[in-house]
Structure 1
Amino acid sequence: MIHLSWLDLTLAASLLVLLMLLCVVLGLAAMNRRILIAAIRTVVQLLALAWVLKWLFAQAAPGWVALIASVMMLAAGYEVMGRQQRRFRGWWGYGMGAGAIFSSSFVITLFTLLVLIQADPWYMPQYAIPLLGMQLGNTMNGISLGLDRLTQSAWQQKEVIEARLMLGQSWHETIADIRRDSIRTGLIPIVNAMAAAGLITLPGMMTGQILAGSPPLEAVKYQILIMFLIATGTGFGTVLAVFLGAKRLFDERERLCLHRLK
């Protein structure tokens, strides 16, 4: 494996500077702050993760693995809430995304470790943490997109929804089209990723294994496994979050409650 120097990373960072200059030329200087913050977060978070994983791999204790996994899922739930333009007020704003992420990503990862990979011990951090991380990242994106489309569409179409309610339709019927569209929106990224894998793009895990010296066929098998698991986790998580969100938009008397959104 070819090792990268800090100079290599500095040269890569200089490309971001070129991007920021382009943003200034195009009148998008306001984006530079977001780009800079995102770049700093990338460096700090990944370096911190490297040190944590190095220590965690040496310990291989189930309690520490569970703690790291819990922190990752809680952070993913917070990111889901933060990425929505109109999010639910109170505990629902956080709990809905976090609950859907836990119910899908954690269960899928546990199934993978116990049944498919059969690592010994099953909580081996070299497998558990990367698998959970890949699940969380994609599931988080799907849930964020699905909930954002749900709340935005409900807000924009409130007159249509209320008119249908007055005509005698149930809340389930009035929100059905929006709910289906929201689920479809959440699934689009992972469906596109699967369709493009191997033909247009080389998925990250497979590329990393090949660069590390693994046989291409073995890397491909792992990538296929991961893609299927990610698609399943993203799908179940998005469906659960959108259904919970749709229900939350109505009260027990089936009235549209947009005041529950910020």
Structure 2
Amino acid sequence: MTDKHELQILLTYWDVVLASSLILLVLVISWRLRLRLTSTLLMAAVRTIIQLSFIGLILAWIFAREQWYEVLIILTIMTLIASSAAKNRVKWGYKGLLVDTFIAVSASAILVTGLAIGMILQVQPWYTPQFIIPILGLILGNSLTAISLTSNQLINDIHEQHARIEMRLTLSATPFEAVHDSIRAAIINGMTPTLNSMLVVGIVSLPGMMTGQILAGADPTQAVRYQIVTMFLICVSSTLGCTLSALLIYRRFFNREQQLILPN
């Protein structure tokens, strides 16, 4: 008799097809309510299948080889894509936004991932792909959302409240003091999704990482510990990313004479 703690359900391609068919329900809802999301939903579904299948093949190959330079290439590509995705979500762009976003995303994600691999999990060697790639992916996925929310709100606020900022400057405020309220509000906005997740995790929702481990037959207590670690890593990375992004962005709106400018 199979031990219940060793129970593992292996998914077949037919199972994936059945799950994919559920998208038809979403398409029907979109059609009936005239949401005009049919093409977007179909594109999203197709891209989900293609992208995950493709990355699955790549990861299987990398996991089998465990070459540090191949892992480093994958990590770099992931960081570049995350930076580009965060930048593209900002309404008011400017020349250099991609650079600022890349610095914020990469610095926060690499620092936190390095601490997780080197100090918490103590993985040897550090480039073991089954650890470093999923951890960086989790952190990047959440950080890019937080950073894009922060960037978008801060840039919008500076554009919309430039008169108030200029008035503060005329009253001898420094550039940072003039935009401090906007910076604070933008960072809070970027951190809100992460904080909301932390407030309800384990009560309202079971995160994907924990659910995946349990479904794969892992010990629930170990799954919980991994989830706690990842939640804190995500929180720290998001905070660092939002703060760094805000500090880099606000400097773009002031010249050497500490005058407000609106870059484009």
Tell me by how many angstroms 1:27 deviates. 2.9
Q: TM-score, normalised by structure 2?
A: 0.93
State the distance in 1 between where 2:43 and 2:94 align: 26
Match of 1:167 in 2: 171
State the distance in 2 between where 1:41 and 1:82 align: 18
> Residue type of the partner of 2:29?
L
Q: Paired residue for 1:87, among 78, 84, 93?
A: 93
Tell me by how many angstroms 1:225 deviates. 0.7
Runs of 4+ in 1 over 4 A off after TM superposition: none
Q: TM-score, normalised by structure 1?
A: 0.93
Match of 1:99 in 2: 103
Q: 1:123 to 1:84 in 2, by over 3 A?
A: same
SS of residue in 1 equivalent to 2:254: coil
The more displaced of 139-148 and 112-121 is 112-121
Q: Paired residue for 1:245, among 226, 244, 249?
A: 249
Is residue 2:240 matched to residue 1:236?
Answer: yes
Match of 1:158 in 2: 162
Is residue 2:34 matched to residue 1:27?
Answer: yes
Q: Paired residue for 1:56, among 62, 66, 69?
A: 62
Is residue 2:77 matched to residue 1:71?
Answer: yes
Match of 1:195 in 2: 199
Tell me by how many angstroms 1:245 deviates. 0.6
Identity of counterpart residues, as a percentage? 35
SS of residue in 2 equivalent to 1:169: coil
> Residue type of the partner of 1:60?
E
The more displaced of 112-121 and 172-181 is 112-121
Tell me by how many angstroms 1:26 deviates. 2.4
SS of residue in 2 equivalent to 1:175: helix
Tell me by how many angstroms 1:166 deviates. 2.8
Q: 1:178 to 1:46 in 2, by over 3 A?
A: same
1:188-228 CA-to-partner distances (Å, cap 9, x unmatched) read: 11111111110110011111111111111111111111111
Is residue 2:213 matched to residue 1:206?
Answer: no
Tell me by how many angstroms 1:12 deviates. 2.4
Q: Paired residue for 2:140, among 136, 158, 162?
A: 136
Structure 1, unmatched stretches of 5+, are none
State the distance in 2 between where 1:118 and 1:207 align: 24
1:17-40 CA-to-partner distances (Å, cap 9, x unmatched) read: 3223322332321x3332222222
Q: How many pairs were matched up?
A: 257
> Residue type of the partner of 1:87?
G
1:142-187 CA-to-partner distances (Å, cap 9, x unmatched) read: 1011001111111221222222223332211110000000000111
Tell me by how many angstroms 1:257 deviates. 1.8
Task: Tell me the C-alpha RMSD between the 2 structures.
Answer: 1.4
